[in-house]
Amino acid sequence: MYEDLELEKIAIESIKNYLNVIGKELWTDDYIKSNYSLAIKLIADNYRNMAEINNGISNISSISQGGQSISFNNSSNLFISEEVKLLLPKPFIRLY
């Protein structure tokens, strides 16, 4: 499990990656912390909840034991969920 500061850094990097702003001057870690703190907290909470539900198990879509079966939703993005997207601006278009 990650420490709080590590989760914050992961959340900030996930936001930068989602918004396509890696390397842009304005989008520093401090800028993202001050403007999108709720998104950072939500990303960290989503990660903690997922880790708690899965008991640290990853890359498994379902578990069966006896008559019980548990399926996990692997189609959702762990860090940038739909709720997080609502708190962020639209991503910048990446031009190559």
- Tell me: the pLDDT tens digits for 86-95? 999 999 987 7
> With left for phi above 0 and alpha for psi between -120 and 50, is residue 59 left, alpha or beta?
left
**Whole-prediction pTM value?**
0.75
DSSP 89: P
92, 21 Cβ separation under 8 angstroms: yes
Structure tokens at 76: 């959702």
Q: What is the pLDDT of residues 15-61, one digit of tens each?
A: 999 999 998 999 999 999 999 999 999 999 988 887 776 665 655 67
What pLDDT does residue 20 have? 95
Q: Write the single-letter amino acid at 6.
A: E
Q: Is the dihedral of CA 51, 78, 44, 38 positive or negative?
A: negative
DSSP code of residue 88? S
pLDDT-derived band of residue 74, with 50, 70 and 90 as boundaries?
low
